[in-house]
Amino acid sequence: MTAQSIRQDSSPCPACTDRDVVITSISEASSLQAIAEPWREFETHAANPNLFTSVDWCRHAFNQLDRDKNRHFLIAQAYENQRLVALWPLSTRKHGALRIASSIAAPFDQYSDLLLAPDVAPERTIDAILDHLRRAHVADGLILRKVKTTSDLYGHLRNKAHVINHNAEAPHISLDPDQPFDAFLKQLNSKTRKNLRNYANRLQREGNVEHVVIEGPKTGQVIAQCFDERNAWLTDNGYSSEAFRDPHFKQFLLGLAKADRALGLVAFVLKIDGEPVALQWGFIRGDCYYAFMSCRNPKYESFSVGRLHLRHIIEVCHKFGLRTIDLMVPASPYKMNWTKQTEPVVDIVQPWSAKGHVVLGLLERNVRPAVKRCLGKAPTALRKPVMALLNR
């Protein structure tokens, strides 16, 4: 990356003609602060706002990860006739022998996307940004994890990049706060409703059932417990996760409890006689709740506490006036009990250098999917030692 190839301007673009792309290199908090308010304003009018392209999420990513010497932060902004029409928060990281561009907090972001003005031509704008990044030699290629197939990003890049389909889907629940919550419950089939009633009655016979909503610093306890139990579950069942393999992940998550309240962090705990039996935490932003991580007490697994807890969470979200619950990948059975709505997500890989074409073509298109398929089919006894070695 050369100084000549990266414009450091973070103000509106008075010199822009028909089209211009500004890449702001974020190396200190003041650089991010300088574009924070225009960014926040743009979010309110963008066609596709979401948590992981918000200025609040990206500020947290910078605050937690700026000490990672292998990571460099970039904010790409596209202008048309002096008007901001796209904003793409990115970072570059060392990936073996390569430097890779990806979403700003990868691998901790749950989706990859950019913000676009509602009246902009996505194809020309995305091409302009990618062409600028390639010519600036910021990386050997682009890896975007969990791109929704309903997004403009996928619609444009699916024929210009390698699309790796892991058959992953992100479930979501649609709510109508103008209707009573019972109307939502009646949408479930009668067998599901009966099973849920039976599980709830059994659980109530175990003791006093209480559902608690937590905000602020106390969410840190829930975050820590969910992380530790999820990490233990991955190990016990012979699975691995790119995020959990990253040594910065736990600190990144724990830092959320002390972050700006604008992130909308919230935690939910289902208890019996004061003992937590199911926990979940996520973010409320706009009219959407993003369910980030959950865990359950295995002692109560036979009571289907995951499904029962989600019922309480859905009711709270309905009371809050939210219209969407994004349950994110994967489409686990306890989630699908409550919805049939899913959005497929894929990985998108686009090499930019000769080295990127060779390595990314081999690893991302061939080796990585093949290894995932083989390990997914392998018996747990065989998979566990392999994954344990990978996780270390």
Amino acid identity of 72? H
Q: What distances in angstroms separate CA 28 from CA 24, 32, 70, 74, 259, one per listed residue?
A: 11, 7, 15, 11, 17
Is residue 295 a contact partner of residue 226, using CB atoms and an 8 Å limit? yes
The CA distance from 224 to 239, in Å, is: 20
Interval 31-60 mean pLDDT: 94
- How much helix, strand and coil, in percent to the nearest 5, is found in the chain? 45, 25, 30
Provide the sign of the torsion angle of the four alpha carbons 160, 372, 235, 283, taken in this order.
positive
Interval 131-150 mean pLDDT: 96
Q: Which residue has the tokens 């996520």?
A: 282
- The confidence band for 2, taking pLDDT boundaries of 50, 70 and 90, is very low
| Helical segments of 172-248, H only | 181-185, 190-206, 219-236, 242-245
- Nearby residues of 133 by Cβ (< 8 Å), 6 or more positions away: 23, 74, 76, 90, 101, 139, 142, 352
The pLDDT, as a whole number, for residue 260 is 81
The pLDDT, as a whole number, for residue 392 is 60
- The confidence band for 4, taking pLDDT boundaries of 50, 70 and 90, is very low
The CA distance from 139 to 391, in Å, is: 26
| CB-facing half-sphere around the CA of 229: CA atoms within 13 A | 17
Q: What is the pLDDT of residues 326-377, one digit of tens each?
A: 999 999 999 999 999 999 999 999 999 999 998 888 877 777 777 777 767 7
Which of 83, 104, 81 minimizes the C-alpha distance to 93? Answer: 104
With pLDDT > 70 as the criterion, what percentage of the chain qualifies? 92
Q: What is the pLDDT of residues 125-135, one digit of tens each?
A: 999 999 999 99
The CA distance from 255 to 258, in Å, is: 5
Residue 194 has pLDDT above 50, yes or no: yes
Q: What is the pLDDT of residues 260-289, one digit of tens each?
A: 889 999 999 999 999 999 999 999 999 999
CA angle 230, 236, 239 (to 5 degrees): 75
DSSP 313-344: HHHHHHHTT--EEE--S---HHHHTT---EEE
β-bridge pairing 275-285 and 288-296: antiparallel
Which of 1, 19, 27, 263 minimizes the C-alpha distance to 10? Answer: 27
The mean pLDDT value of the chain amounts to: 90
β-bridge pairing 275-285 and 209-214: unpaired
Tokens of 353: 């250098």
Residue 310 has pLDDT above 60, yes or no: yes
Which of 74, 65, 102, 97 minimizes the C-alpha distance to 5? Answer: 74
pTM across the whole model: 0.90
Is residue 263 a contact partner of residue 57, using CB atoms and an 8 Å limit? yes
The CA distance from 320 to 289, in Å, is: 10
Q: What is the pLDDT of residues 249-262, one digit of tens each?
A: 999 999 999 988 89
The pLDDT, as a whole number, for residue 389 is 66
- The confidence band for 13, taking pLDDT boundaries of 50, 70 and 90, is very low
Q: What is the pLDDT of residues 198-214, one digit of tens each?
A: 999 999 999 999 999 99
Interval 216-229 mean pLDDT: 95
Q: Which residue has the tokens 């574009």?
A: 35
Q: What distances in angstroms separate CA 307 from CA 69, 186, 279, 290, 294, one per listed residue?
A: 42, 16, 12, 17, 12
The pLDDT, as a whole number, for residue 30 is 82
Is residue 235 a contact partner of residue 388, using CB atoms and an 8 Å limit? yes
Is residue 207 a contact partner of residue 214, using CB atoms and an 8 Å limit? no
